[in-house]
Amino acid sequence: MKKIILVRHGKSAWDKPFLADHNRPLAERGLRDVPMMAERLKARNIEPDLFLSSSATRAMATAALTGEVFGYPKKNIHADEHLYHASPEKILKIIHHQKDSHQTILLFGHNPGLNELIYLLGGRIDNLPTSGQYGFTFDTDEWEKVSKKNAKVWFVDYPKMKVN
């Protein structure tokens, strides 16, 4: 069984309106929410073996802060420029090309691509909020075979969601 958690980057800063979007950092709220959400993810006893991130500054920062909670080295985070504002089909193609030795992937990216991928895989959400997480399990041992046919929603979590 393969598992993937789609993680939308933390809230980004907009105090420099002329900064290129790709270089936009996390805002104070993002810096607060990302570690909290990583702790909630860790509390689920999830053991990711690959951090795959858009190369955008805010996505990489989200991955790095999450990695600190999991003890996942920043140098091992795989930055993929093709995940930056990627279509759901492009994201799925990237997932299909991952090594089968990886069992659980955390994928850090952006909307609308993540929202659309959730729908493509049979999940439902109006809008995955910043720092939000959407987990799927797949009844396959090969990333290349991941599809809506073998996808099952695992969990959804985001900062304003009430936790028990």
The answer to the question of whether 29 is labelled as a binding residue is: no
Tokens of 112: 């609308």
Nearest to 130 by CA among 153, 151, 160, 99: 160
Gyration radius of the chain over CA positions: 15
Q: Do the beta carbons of residue 5 and residue 15 sit within 8 Å?
A: no
Q: Do the beta carbons of residue 30 and residue 9 sit within 8 Å?
A: yes
Q: Which residues are annotated as a binding site for substrate?
A: 58
Q: Which residues are annotated as a binding site?
A: 58
